[in-house]
Amino acid sequence: MGATEFFLVNAISFVGQTAAALCACGVAWLKGGPSARIAALVFGLGWVGSAVVVLASPGQNNDLPSVLVWDLAPAATFLILAIWHNNLWFGAATIAQGWQLGLRTMDMTMPESPHSLTHLSLAVAINTLNLVMMVTLVGGALSERRRRTQAALASRTTLRV
């Protein structure tokens, strides 16, 4: 794969994943409760922050701490929300974000050419984990909404004697 094809694939992937991230954050914001809104806000800000850092210095590894901070914030937030709100969806997002953090660190510290098969495989894995996190974000929001609806129905149901 030449440099032009590599750039084109990256551009298409970035635009597609950004649209998917906007949709996932929008669904979580509109359909979820407070914890889903916090998760959507932090995930969206992390997405924008890491994209700005990567796009500002393409092909350079000196931005590793910045990218890792933007990846670590959603992971910590998902973990706190998973524990605080007892939501396994956010726990799954924490695991996916942790895997992504490790893969991104490995990808950015490898001395090989960025066009090598190893880098391309890591990019596919990182992008797949992004999609997994988006699905878990939406799943967490919808499960939270279902839980709220069931609680409201249970509070309306009273026994009359």
pLDDT tens profile 115-141? 677 777 888 888 899 899 999 999 999
Residue 34 in domain: yes
* Whether pLDDT at 28 is above 90: yes
Q: Is residue 69 in a domain?
A: yes
102 domain-assigned: yes
The domain of 69 spans 3-142
Q: Does the reported pTM lie above 0.85? A: no
What would the pLDDT profile of 55-81 be if each residue is shown by its tens digit? 776 655 556 777 777 788 888 888 898
Q: What percentage of the chain reaches a pLDDT higher than 70? A: 88
Write down the pLDDT at residue 150: 87
What pLDDT is stored for residue 60 in this prediction? 59
Number of domains in the chain: 1
Confirm whether 86 is domain-assigned.
yes
Considering the domain boundaries, does residue 131 fall inside one? yes
Which conformational region is residue 104 in: left (phi greater than 0), alpha (psi within -120 to 50 degrees), or beta?
alpha
In a domain, 154, yes or no: no
- Would 24 be classed as within a structural domain? yes
Question: Do the domain assignments include residue 85?
Answer: yes
